Chain A
Amino acid sequence: EPEVTQTPSHQVTQMGQEVILRCVPISNHLYFYWYRQILGQKVEFLVSFYNNEISEKSEIFDDQFSVERPDGSNFTLKIRSTKLEDSAMYFCASSVRGRKNTEAFFGQGTRLTVV
């Protein structure tokens, strides 16, 4: 069964460093998302991406964040200068269509720890 894969599963980084989280969405999906879940809190939307551009982003997704689909298969989330409060599980998701009448398939997540 096709699945969304994320690497690495766990990333530890020093505050102020840049990190890149990688995702390979399901191959025939057109919409891509990043969500995050701070420990003990709800899953929060960061950004959606369609047709090689950001289609929607939340307040969390500030100038420190960027997304890219560099080669037609990978979908990356970059955090330019990490802060302690960026520590969370980051989930990539993809869907065939936008949110209506379809569900997003999530990857297993990358646990980011900023020290």
Chain B
Amino acid sequence: DQQVKQNSPSLSVQEGRISILNCDYTNSMFDYFLWYKKYPAEGPTFLISISSIKDKNEDGRFTVFLNKSAKHLSLHIVPSQPGDSAVYFCAASSNTGNQFYFGTGTSLTVIP
């Protein structure tokens, strides 16, 4: 039961360019979405979040876009830096509980 999907297991981008990571969800009750970054041998680190009342949230180089009608969100990283190379997880939650549902992750490689 994959309620949050990240269909691209990997992505390579040149340094300085835009990285776009995509996430789709199936549960229309989800109303809060997050992106986490994970380096090897470390736990996920919170990056940015968005509530369903918004369609965009920006924090420095990171912007998350939410399209509720399409049940789709994306993370834009501009400009991409080699230190951004990590696995990025999309997560979602609903107001029926406290758990987050994670996607399978997208491994981003930023090439210097």
Give the interface of A toward B (CB within 8 A).
Answer: 4, 6, 31, 33, 35, 41-45, 48, 50, 55-56, 58, 91, 93, 98-101, 103-109
- Cα separation A43 to B35 with both chains bound (whole Å): 13
Interface size class on chain B is 20 to 34
Proximity string of chain B (73-102) to chain A, C-beta cutoff 8 Å, 1 when within and 0 when not: 000000000000000010101010111111
CB distance from B32 to the nearest CB of A (A): 6
Q: Which residues does chain B contribute within 8 Å of A45, judged by CB atoms?
A: 99-102
Known A-B contacts A43-B89, A91-B43; the reply to A100 vs B99 at CB < 8 A is no
- Cα separation A41 to B45 with both chains bound (whole Å): 18
What number of A-B contacts does a CB cutoff of 8 Å give? 68
Contact with B99, one of A4, A42, A99, A108 (Cβ below 8 angstroms): A99
Q: Which residues does chain A contribute within 8 Å of B98, judged by CB atoms?
A: 31, 33, 48, 50, 55-56, 98-99
Contact with A43, one of B41, B44, B93, B95 (Cβ below 8 angstroms): B44
Residue of A nearest to B41 (CB): A108
18 contacts between A and B (CB under 8 A): A35-B100, A35-B102, A42-B103, A43-B89, A43-B102, A43-B105, A45-B99, A45-B101, A45-B102, A58-B99, A98-B98, A99-B97, A99-B100, A103-B34, A104-B46, A105-B46, A106-B36, A108-B42
